[in-house]
Amino acid sequence: MLTTAEALATLLSAASPIDGTESIATLEALNRVLSADVISPLDVPPMHTSAMDGYAIRVADLVDFAAAGNKRLPVSQRIPAGHAPEPLKPGTAARIFTGATVPPGADAIVMQEQTEATGDQVTILHSPQPGEWITAQGADIRSGSVILPAGTRLTPQALGLAASVGCATLAVRRRVKVAVFFTGDELTMPGEPLEPGAIYNSNRFTLCGLLDKLGCDVTDYGIVADKLDATRATLREAAVAHDLILTCGGVSVGEEDHVKPAVEAEGRLSMWQIAMKPGKPLAFGAVRRGAALEEAPASETFFIGLPGNPVSSFATFLLFVRPFILSLAGVQTVAPRMLSLRADFTQSKADRRNEFLRARINPAGGLDLFPNQSSAVLTSTVWGDGLIDNPPNHAISAGETVRFIPFSELLN
């Protein structure tokens, strides 16, 4: 069996960004991946602006007035945001508001709390330094600089940044096309009667939700009968117009597990089992698109087969499928950030495999462990805040520091 690091390296080494880009409205680009750098055509802010409501002054004028025992200046103009000011007349102040353009000639802003206004004059109660409360032109962004590199997955704040330099549209990669299906004659959809020996297909809802969260273009083939011919036929159909085929269930070695022989008949498998818990049976390979396997990789559609236990499929998707899809989408950084947190529990029994334990952060900042770590207990994935990445053959003692991957990272 491969280690988790070896398995992830195998997947990522095969995942090069898909072809195909499009230009879409910035307002519609949330979670899409940039196919080209966003370069600012202007300085931000494009002019010197006031960081406070107050008065724009010349520091030298104020020094001269103070030397004469007077800090009262006539107010020569009023400058709201969005209005072009006139040059500041010598020996005067300009009433100015936050975000407004600093008038030529002014070199400081005195906030209104440090002044006393009387009629058309203002008394300055503070001795400012040059540049005080002025946001300089280009303080945030310089014209010609790359503000968002290609491969950036667009967050709400990234959209705002692009909009701040006037980008109405953005060049993004097309969505990754994923076909998904589920095997198991025992599977029943919610809303249907639950016959003896049947279970509801929770994995369909979990995995389709995860794919949707990643922004994939998903074709859901639903539940496929536990028959070799049916599995092969679905693989052939799904390979035609997709980048990835994702299956759930049927990847073990039982007589009713038909995914492995079906993929081997329709394509190839390069990975089968991983030394991890939960999620040992994880298959990776490709299904040919009606062409010989000796032809170029473009004639193949990637295949990943997940185990059928709900926690196993959930964990293996987050740890392996998520980074693989992000890599296909052209995202530059796909590894989740890990936290080093204190274990507030003891797990004396070590496993020979790399364990991923469901845990949550307690009010004291440590980690509590869900009491039942079975791969069938989906409750743990809702109760928990993330996964403890526990190395093979390692027992955990209360108080030691462990590696924790928050779901907020894995679901991003």
Query: Domains in the chain, please, with CATH?
Result: 4-19+175-328 (3.40.980.10), 21-44+144-173 (3.90.105.10), 49-135 (2.170.190.11), 339-410 (2.40.340.10)
Alpha-carbon distances of 4 from 10, 110, 230, 385, rounded to whole Å = 10, 60, 31, 21
How confident is the model at residue 68, as a pLDDT?
61
Query: What is the distance between the alpha carbons of residues 243 and 300, in angstroms, rounded to a whole number?
Result: 8
SS (H, E, C) 69-137: CCCEEEEEEEECCCCCCCCCCCCCEEEECCCCECCCCCCEEEEHHHEEEECCEEEECCCCCCCCCEECC
Report if pTM > 0.85: yes
Alpha-carbon distances of 218 from 194, 222, 245, 411, rounded to whole Å = 27, 11, 10, 17
How confident is the model at residue 67, as a pLDDT?
64
Query: What is the distance between the alpha carbons of residues 80 and 4, in angstroms, rounded to a whole number?
Result: 59
Q: Which pLDDT tens digits describe the chain residue by residue (412 residues)?
A: 899 999 999 999 999 999 999 999 999 999 999 999 999 999 999 999 999 999 999 999 887 766 666 688 999 999 999 999 999 999 999 999 999 999 999 999 999 999 999 999 999 999 999 999 999 999 999 999 999 999 999 999 999 999 999 999 999 999 999 999 998 888 888 999 988 988 999 999 999 999 999 999 999 999 998 889 999 999 999 999 999 999 998 766 555 568 889 999 999 998 888 999 998 889 999 999 975 444 445 589 999 999 989 999 999 999 999 999 999 999 989 999 999 999 999 999 999 999 999 999 999 999 999 999 999 999 999 999 999 999 999 999 999 999 999 999 999 8
How confident is the model at residue 71, as a pLDDT?
80
How confident is the model at residue 295, as a pLDDT?
46
Amino acid letter for position 92: T
Nearest to 73 by CA among 86, 54, 99, 98: 54
> Token pair of 175, please?
């969505």
| Contacting residues for 2 by C-beta, under 8 A, at least 6 apart | 10, 271, 273, 274, 275
Residue 183: strand pairing partners:
224
| Contacting residues for 171 by C-beta, under 8 A, at least 6 apart | 21, 22, 23, 34, 35, 36
- Classify residue 10 as left (phi > 0), alpha (psi -120 to 50) or beta: alpha
